[in-house]
Each structure stands twice: as C-alpha cells, then as structure tokens.
C-alpha cells in the first residue's frame, strides 16, 4: 500500500467537485457508487437509496429517472438502456431511458451483483458477483442481452469480485479481487468462454474497487480505502495517480469513468461526484 509520503502523478488540486448533491431536492446524491458517461456527455450514477440519476454534462443539475428502493452498485450504458446492479434485490435492473421504464432484468439469484460490463461481441452482460467478504466463489455471470437469462461464466473462485472492464481489444476481462488487493485478467476465447486467468497487479491499496482504461491502454484502479487512484501499465508498473489524505474531495471512490481528459469518480463516503483533470484522455465505455 502507498504510504502518506508516496509521491503522486497528479496533485490533489487537479480534482474538483463536479456536482454536490448533499442537500439536493427532491433526491439527494446519497453515497453514489455506480457511474457511467453517456455519448452526450451526461454522467449517470446510482445511490444507496436506489435512485438512477442523470447529471447534466456541465454538472449544473441532476434528475432521477427511476428508483429501485434498493442499493445501486455498478452500471453500464447501451444505447437507450441503462443496466444497474442492485445489491439489495440481488439482481440487475434495466432502465429504458426514453420511457423512464425500470424493470428487473435478471433473476434474483446473484448473491452480490456488483458491476456489469457490456460485451457487444457476444451480445451479453458480464456481471461480477462479490459472493462474500469471507468466502471466495464463482464470481462472474453471463447475462443474455435479449432475454436476461444468465449463468455462471467463470467457474474460478474469485475473492470478492468487484469492478471490471473489458480490455481495449475486447479479448480479455479485467476484474478487481478486492479482498486480495489485486486485479486479475481473464482471457476470452473465440467462443466467448472464460479461458486463462492471470494476476496482473497486486498490492493495490487496502481495498481496490473500480477500473477504467485510458486511450493509451493504461489501467486505472480506484481504491475505496485509502481514498486514492492508481494507474498501471507494463512499462511503468503501478504508480499512484492521485490521493486525498483526508478523504473529503476524493472520499472512498468506487467506480471511475473517463470523458475525454476528465476522469470522474463516485464517492461512496460522501454526497458528490469528483472530476479529475487527468494527464491522459479516455473514451466513455458506451462509445467503444
């Protein structure tokens, strides 16, 4: 784990509050976790009260497009649909954005549905199942986009499978194993099956959570604890991108997402979303 004296790539002054929803009406930005960036620049997030919020591209306002009355974890955008994991109801919800119609998409059988990844090549969602803090388990589901039916995709026992991201070429899935402080890579074969598993990076904070790639292929890893974000590549290794020693501006970040040179982070510890002016650019996942 990085010590307080470990140098960072970016100073904390590169971070700012994108939107503060502490006292927002009629819906507060209650400990946001899920995060997605739309093609029009709008930022979507979910809350601990189950609201699915769309935030204007300039951060000037936000509106709720539906509420599960559960707890929203990760989310993914696909055209006019938003998929959101709900850990209370152990399912993935689908929001038809234009109609503001919210419905259960998967059967209620995923123990802790944490993060969905859209895999257009095989017309599916890959959904991490954190299973348990104490006991590793088969941690990734495959959900058919047409029907919502699902099955275990990766049989390997993972240690609290959490945030995920597809490799830029779509040929591998990266997944955080939070309780082992590491990120693993699972290759995807030509039939879409889970193939080789390997550990990519270890000793990431105390509790790594979310993942994102920039346009050069570097991997970004947010940490719920301590409140910091790492960056990793094969050439530079693991480097500490930015940290907040008092966890107020960046406060237990979970999911992260790029919009150009801005890296957004949800703060499970507070009531706002952080925007970080990065030294690299990234493409919103829904546009890849």
Does the structure show a pLDDT above 90 at 203?
Answer: yes
For residue 236, what pLDDT band results from cuts at 50, 70 and 90?
very high
How high is the pLDDT of residue 6? Answer: 77
For residue 286, what pLDDT band results from cuts at 50, 70 and 90?
confident
The mean pLDDT of the chain is 95
How high is the pLDDT of residue 184? Answer: 98
Does the structure show a pLDDT above 90 at 71?
Answer: yes
How high is the pLDDT of residue 5? Answer: 61
What the chain holds in terms of domains, given with CATH numbers, is 12-287 (2.120.10.30)
Three-state secondary structure string covering 217-284: CCEEEEEEECCEEEEEECCCEEEEEEECCCCCCCCCEEEEEEEEEEEEEEECCCCEEEEEEEEEEECC
Rounded Cα distance between 176 and 128, Å, is 9
Read off the pLDDT of each residue in 68-84 and give the average, rounded to a whole number: 97
For residue 86, what pLDDT band results from cuts at 50, 70 and 90?
very high
Does the structure show a pLDDT above 80 at 7?
Answer: yes
How high is the pLDDT of residue 109? Answer: 83
How high is the pLDDT of residue 107? Answer: 80
Read off the pLDDT of each residue in 147-161 and give the average, rounded to a whole number: 95
């Amino acid at each position: 784990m990085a010590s307080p004296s470990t140098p960072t790539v970016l100073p904390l002054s590169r971070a700012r509050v994108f939107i503060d929803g502490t006292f927002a009406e009629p819906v507060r930005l209650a400990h946001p976790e899920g995060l997605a960036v739309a093609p029009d620049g709008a930022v979507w997030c979910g809350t601990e009260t189950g609201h699915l919020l769309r935030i204007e591209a300039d951060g000037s306002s936000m509106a709720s497009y539906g509420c599960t009355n559960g707890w929203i974890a990760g989310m993914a955008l696909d055209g006019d649909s938003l998929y959101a994991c709900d850990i209370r109801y152990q399912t993935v919800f689908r929001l038809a954005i234009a109609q503001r119609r919210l419905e259960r998409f998967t059967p209620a059988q995923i123990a802790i549905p944490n993060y969905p990844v859209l895999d257009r090549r095989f017309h599916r969602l890959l959904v991490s199942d954190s299973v348990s803090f104490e006991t590793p388990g088969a941690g990734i589901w495959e959900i058919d986009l047409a029907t919502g039916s699902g099955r275990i995709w990766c049989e390997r026992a993972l240690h609290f499978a959490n945030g995920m991201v597809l490799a830029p070429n779509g040929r591998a899935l990266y997944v955080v194993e939070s309780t082992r402080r590491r990120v693993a890579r699972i290759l995807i074969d030509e039939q879409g099956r889970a193939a080789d598993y390997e550990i990519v990076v270890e000793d990431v904070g105390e509790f790594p959570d979310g993942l994102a790639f920039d346009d050069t292929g570097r991997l970004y890893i947010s940490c719920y604890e301590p409140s910091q974000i790492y960056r990793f590549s094969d050439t530079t290794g693991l480097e500490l991108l930015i940290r907040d020693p008092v966890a107020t501006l960046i406060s237990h970040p979970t999911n992260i997402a790029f919009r150009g040179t801005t890296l957004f982070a949800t703060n499970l510890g507070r009531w706002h979303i952080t925007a970080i002016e990065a030294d690299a650019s990234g493409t919103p996942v829904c546009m890849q």
